[in-house]
Amino acid sequence: MSTIFVDGILKGRVVFVTGGGTGITGGVARALAEAGANVALVSRSLEHLEPAAKAINEARVRSLSVSQGNSAENPSFGEAFAITADVRKPEDIEKAIAATVDRFGKIDIVVNGAAGNFLCKAEELSPNGFGTVVDIDLKGTFNVCRAAFDQLKQNRGQILNISATLHYLGTPMQLHVSAAKAGVDALTRNLAVEWGRYGIRVNAIAPGPIGDTEGMKRLVPEPIKEKLKQRIPLGRFGLIEDIENAAVFLCSDAANYINGAVLVVDGGHWLAANRLI
Ligand code: NAP
Ligand code: COA
Residue 246 forms part of a structural domain? yes
Residue 214 forms part of a structural domain? no
Q: What is the pTM of this model?
A: 0.97
Residue 225 forms part of a structural domain? no
For the segment 17-32, what is each residue's pLDDT rounded down to a tens digit? 999 999 999 999 999 9
Residue 212 forms part of a structural domain? no
Residue 7 forms part of a structural domain? no
Residue with CA nearest ligand 1 atom 20 = 43
Name the phi and psi angles at 171, rounded to 5: -95, 115
Domain count, the chain: 1
- CB-CB contact of 207 with 24 (8 Å): yes
User: How deeply is 252 buried, as exposed, middle or buried, from its count of CB atoms within 10 A (0-12, 13-18, 19+)?
Assistant: middle
Residue 139 forms part of a structural domain? yes
Residue 215 forms part of a structural domain? no
Whole-angstrom Cα distance, residue 46 to residue 147? Answer: 21
Identify the domain containing residue 195 by its residue range: 14-207+238-270
Residue 233 forms part of a structural domain? no
Residue-by-residue DSSP string for 173-237: T-HHHHHHHHHHHHHHHHHHHHHHTTT-EEEEEEE--BSSSHHHHHHS-HHHHHHHHHTSTTSS-
Q: What is the CATH classification number for the domain harbouring 130?
A: 3.40.50.720
For the segment 85-128, what is each residue's pLDDT rounded down to a tens digit? 999 999 999 999 999 999 999 999 999 999 999 999 999 999 99
What does the DSSP 8-state code read for residue 139? I
Ligand 1 lining (C-beta closer than 6 Å): 18-19, 21-25, 43-45, 48, 86-88, 113-116, 136, 140, 162, 164, 207, 209-210, 213-216
Residue with CA nearest ligand 1 atom 33 = 115
